[in-house]
Amino acid sequence: MYKNLIRPLLFLLEPENAHRFAARSIKVINCLPGFHWVAKKMFNTDTPNSGIEHCGLPFRNRVGLAAGFDKNADLYKDFALFGFSFIEIGTVTPLPQPGNPKPRLFRIKKDRAMVNRMGFNNGGVLEAAERLKGSHKVLIGGNIGKNKVTPNEEAESDYLYCLRELYPYVDYFVVNVSSPNTFGLRRLQSRQALTALLRHVEAERRSISISPDRKVPVLVKLSPDLTDQELDDALDAILSAGVEGVIATNTTIRRDSLKSPKASEDGGLSGAPLRTRSTQVVRKIYARTNGRLPIVGVGGVMNPAGAQEKLDAGAALVQLFSGLVYGGPGVVQKILKAL
């Protein structure tokens, strides 16, 4: 029904408007009597814990929702109904910011892809923290970044502020240093800059830990556009800092073999064209770290084959973004049944 009816209707709207409309619709449907029972039957949301554990966390299954869908932590309860084991909110920044000028989100339908130059548009970390108070039926990741006006030399203060404010409410953190849509941000992936940033993050985490029994894991999200040497440098910084894992990968600025003229839009490309490159990065990280570093594979996971490819390359978990846009919520169960 999604591909034949719902998706064609959504695709009549501009992408950002479609996202807002879909989010409102899901919230309305979620309030209907009996819908939770229907969702459990349709999406198998009551699947018991499968014994999957990574970064000290118990995952019900291997499929999560990537950052970007729920920027302000106002949809995670609704998306949890689709069977995701973990949902990543954000990217959030210390201060609210509008992001880049519109239009800034584009469908590349011929290539089953998206291009975005959103620019960390969000309501600020305090708004997200308020919405995350209380218990969750799904693991929550907090994807954190810096405000556009904060120079890289002062970026650590933004990441540490977000870490402090979200620490009581999330199950893991993602240090986003790889979005192509905030000027200069990806320079923080250099060995020197990332080493310094992660040392501050680790020190702050130790100082604010609520109890000795609860150490919230930290992962780093890397770009698919790093050279082999740059990737090695980033991994050296990650391993030396002692953080728990890597998310591979963010969106790409490359435009290889795309069919649609809209692909020339500036911003980060996600979806099917990113699948091969993202998997290559997962495989390199796994080999470079001898499998010691848990990897979340994201990029071109559009179907069960894409998810299995990431897991075969060394990923422990996978995330969806464009796959949800093109495949609808049922794609989660299709992947889970095939794994």
H helices present in the chain, as ranges: 7-10, 15-30, 35-43, 76-79, 125-131, 155-166, 191-208, 228-241, 275-288, 304-313, 322-327, 330-338
Give yes or no for a contact between 157 and 165, defined as CB atoms under 8 angstroms apart: no
Beta-carbon contacts of 213 under 8 Å, excluding residues fewer than 6 positions away, are none
How far lies 112's CA from each of 9, 56, 273, in Å? 17, 35, 8
Give yes or no for a contact between 268 and 181, defined as CB atoms under 8 angstroms apart: yes
254: region left, alpha or beta (phi > 0 left; psi from -120 to 50 alpha): beta
In three-state secondary structure terms, 283 is helix
Q: Give the number of other Cβ atoms within 10 Å of residue 257's Cβ.
A: 8
Give yes or no for a contact between 30 and 40, defined as CB atoms under 8 angstroms apart: no
Residue type, 41: K
CA-based R_g, the chain, Å:
19
Q: Which of 25, 50, 157, 179 is catalytic?
A: 179
Q: What is the DSSP letter of 3?
A: I
* 25 flagged as catalytic: no
Q: What sign results for the dihedral spanned by CA atoms 48, 54, 57, 62?
A: negative
Q: What sign results for the dihedral spanned by CA atoms 142, 100, 226, 314?
A: positive
Q: At 221, which helix (H) or strand (E)?
A: strand 218-222
Which neighbouring-strand residues pair with 100?
Answer: none
Report how far residue 328's alpha carbon sits from residue 252's, in angstroms, rounded to the nearest whole number: 23
Active-site amino acid positions: 179
